[in-house]
């Protein structure tokens, strides 16, 4: 008995079960049709394929490619009349594809089909790729969510740090003005310092020696020429001007030193903590840095601060308050005006007053000027934090008071009441 015969004999006892499995299988499609397309026998797989037909119930109308009429046309054949991929569907949304074979008999048409294992494998791989992509997108979304949460936290921190940023903004604008003021003294230093003491001194010494040699020769013609050169080149004036050049250079250096000192006194970068300082010195150092803006606007400043007044404070922060009040006053007097700063001590308190001759503050705005982000300036010209910063520094850091008084048309007055000694 051959292997094939042995296999047939082994399967003979399972014929009914095999038929049942074949009948109920949806992976294998078997259908018998009349030449008109009427189903004569359908297993579960073929019934499922035909259920995609537009009409109700299984129908040959579900044959999309090739069409049933094309398969049924022609004489009977012992060999398959079609072998390949066959598509079933409703010609709209539903489309099902199987690897099929078709036999054409005298009375009917046998159609068998099975889902293409290679196609299923390709679809499974594609689905796996899609799942992988979805997982990657999910991970990316998680990262983006985390990043958005971090950004939100940073934005909240930025809101808190905006006050400090405003301080640095003001300081940066001020330093720009100071840098402009430094340019002239630096020009003196760069242009004169080396030539003043070295080059001109050497030239004068060499020229003197040349004239001495001419005098030693006793030649009248050379002596006459020497005198002409001295007069034509104005040698006496040039050599006499050396001292003036030197003094001018020293003056320029002193100006640079003064500006740098004012900058240091204002920022107090080396005095981050609390310290006892002279009130007049702090006011003057701040005014020196604000001088370019004040001069540009034509504002006259008068200072009447008791030079003996000293107080314990955070110098850099207190100077920031002074600067904000001075800059606000200057911006209120864009076409010129007067700014008066007065300060005195009364026992345990120090009183400082900034009064300007500007247009004043409307009563409706007076109650809100210390609120964060409140500003009466046009959009883009103010953040509304200057006076809010001043308020927090005076109240929270120094335990003092700051008040504003104004009448429209009569300027504005800001009064600071500070303790001489800071509480722990």
CATH number at residue 311: 3.30.565.10
143 part of a folded domain: no
Q: What is the pLDDT of residue 92?
A: 80
54 part of a folded domain: yes
Q: Which two tokens stand for residue 400?
A: 């003092």
Number of domains observed in the structure of the chain: 3
User: Do the Cβ atoms of 55 and 83 come closer than 8 Å?
Assistant: no
Residue with tokens 């922060």: 317
Residues 187 and 93 in one domain: no
4 part of a folded domain: no
The residues facing 196 across adjacent strands are none
146 part of a folded domain: no
Rounded to 5 degrees, φ, ψ at 31 are -145, 140
User: Do the Cβ atoms of 54 and 61 come closer than 8 Å?
Assistant: yes
DSSP 86-118: EEEE-SSS-EEEEEEEEEE-SS-EEEEEE--HH
Residues 286 and 225 in one domain: no
Range of the structural domain that residue 323 is part of: 270-419
Residues 226 and 186 in one domain: yes
287 part of a folded domain: yes
Range in 54-63, 77-86, 286-295, 371-380 with the lowest mean pLDDT: 371-380
pLDDT exceeds 50 at position 161? no
The residues facing 299 across adjacent strands are 337
Measured distance CA(189)–CA(407) in Å, rounded: 49
149 part of a folded domain: no
**Structure confidence by residue, pLDDT tens digits, 50-93:** 886 666 667 788 899 999 999 998 899 889 999 998 998 888 87
Work out the mean pLDDT of the chain and round it to a whole number.
80
Residues 75 and 52 in one domain: yes
Residues 402 and 294 in one domain: yes
Domain's final residue, options 120, 136, 164: 120
Q: What is the pLDDT of residue 96?
A: 85
Residues 293 and 410 in one domain: yes
40 part of a folded domain: yes
**Structure confidence by residue, pLDDT tens digits, 190-227:** 666 766 777 777 777 777 777 777 777 777 877 788 77
**Could you report how far apart the first and last alpha carbons of the chain are, in Å?**
111
376 part of a folded domain: yes
Residues 254 and 182 in one domain: yes
Domain's final residue, options 198, 232, 259: 259
Closest to 282 in 3D by CA, of 255, 320, 256: 320
Range in 2-16, 273-287, 396-410 with the lowest mean pLDDT: 2-16
Residues 278 and 411 in one domain: yes
Residues 99 and 180 in one domain: no
Q: What is the pLDDT of residue 270?
A: 46
Q: What is the pLDDT of residue 355?
A: 93
């Amino acid at each position: 008995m051959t292997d094939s015969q042995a296999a047939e004999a082994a399967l003979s006892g399972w014929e009914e079960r095999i038929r049942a499995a074949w009948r109920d299988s949806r992976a294998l499609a078997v259908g018998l049709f009349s030449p008109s397309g009427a189903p004569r026998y359908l297993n579960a797989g073929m019934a499922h394929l035909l259920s995609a037909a537009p009409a109700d119930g299984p129908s040959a109308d579900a044959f999309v490619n090739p069409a049933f009429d094309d398969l049924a046309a022609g004489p009977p054949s012992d060999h398959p009349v079609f072998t390949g991929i066959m598509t079933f569907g409703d010609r709209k949304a539903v489309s099902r594809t199987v690897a099929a074979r078709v036999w054409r008999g005298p009375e009917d048409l046998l159609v068998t089909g099975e889902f293409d294992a290679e196609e299923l494998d390709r679809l499974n791989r594609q689905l796996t790729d899609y799942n992988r992509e979805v997982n990657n997108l999910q991970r990316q979304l998680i990262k983006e969510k985390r990043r958005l949460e971090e950004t939100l936290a940073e934005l909240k921190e930025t809101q808190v740090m905006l006050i400090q940023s405003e301080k640095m903004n003001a300081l940066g604008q001020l330093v720009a003005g100071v840098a402009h003021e430094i340019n002239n003294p630096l020009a003196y230093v760069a242009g004169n310092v080396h030539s003043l003491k070295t080059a001109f001194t050497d030239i004068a010494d060499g020229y003197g020696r040349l004239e001495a040699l001419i005098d030693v020769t006793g030649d009248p013609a050379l002596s006459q020429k020497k005198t002409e050169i001295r007069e034509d080149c104005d040698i006496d004036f040039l050599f006499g001007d050396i001292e003036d050049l030197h003094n001018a250079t020293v003056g320029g250096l002193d100006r640079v030193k003064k500006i740098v000192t004012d900058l240091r006194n204002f920022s107090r970068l080396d005095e981050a903590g609390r310290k006892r300082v002279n009130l007049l010195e702090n006011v003057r150092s701040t005014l020196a840095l604000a001088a370019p803006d004040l001069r540009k606007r034509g504002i006259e400043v008068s200072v009447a601060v008791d030079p003996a007044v000293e107080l314990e404070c955070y110098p850099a922060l207190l100077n920031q308050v002074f600067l904000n009040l001075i800059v606000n006053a200057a911006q209120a007097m864009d076409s010129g005006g007067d700014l008066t700063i007065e300060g005195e001590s009364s026992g345990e308190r120090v009183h400082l007053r900034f009064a300007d001759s500007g247009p004043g503050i409307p009563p409706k705005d007076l109650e809100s000027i210390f609120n964060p982000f409140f500003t009466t300036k046009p959009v883009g010209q103010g953040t509304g934090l200057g006076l809010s910063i001043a308020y927090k520094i005076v109240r929270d850091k120094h335990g003092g008071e700051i008040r504003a008084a104004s009448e429209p048309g009569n300027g504005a007055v800001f009064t600071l009441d500070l303790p001489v000694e800071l509480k722990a």
